[in-house]
């Protein structure tokens, strides 16, 4: 199983940001079994990275590896959709 490279773009500190980070961590721990690299990018601090990745909405999760590139937006509270977006089959129903 190849490693996941995940980038989570957020805008500053907000309840939504906190939710997105917590949800992401939970999914990573449960489903990716340490086979991942999660980078959190605050677009307020690094707008040029948001420009490069053409981020409009936040939070946005981008799965850069393995291909294909996938984008999931929102606070990731809909776990099923996140897994679908990351092409991951859920381990627990």
Q: What is the contact surface with other proteins in residues (CB under 8 A)? A: 9, 11-12, 16, 19-20, 23, 43-44, 47-48, 50-51, 54-60, 69-79, 81-82, 84-85
Residue closer to other proteins by CB (options 16, 25) is 16
| Residue 11 C-beta: closest distance to other proteins, Å | 3
User: 57 Cβ partners below 8 Å, 6+ apart?
Assistant: 73, 74
| Residue 41 C-beta: closest distance to other proteins, Å | 10
User: 88 Cβ partners below 8 Å, 6+ apart?
Assistant: 31, 32
3-state secondary structure at position 6: strand
Q: How far apart are CA 3 and CA 35, in angstroms?
A: 5
Residue closer to other proteins by CB (options 36, 58) is 58
């Amino acid at each position: 199983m190849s490693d996941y490279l995940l980038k989570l773009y957020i805008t500053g500190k907000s309840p939504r940001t906190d939710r997105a980070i917590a949800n992401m961590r939970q999914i990573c721990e449960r489903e990716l079994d340490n086979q991942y690299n999660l980078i959190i990018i605050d677009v307020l601090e690094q707008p040029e990275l948001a420009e490069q990745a053409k981020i409009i909405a936040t939070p946005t999760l981008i799965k850069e590896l393995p291909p294909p590139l996938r984008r999931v937006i929102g606070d990731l509270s809909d776990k099923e959709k996140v897994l679908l977006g990351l092409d991951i089959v859920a381990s627990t129903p």
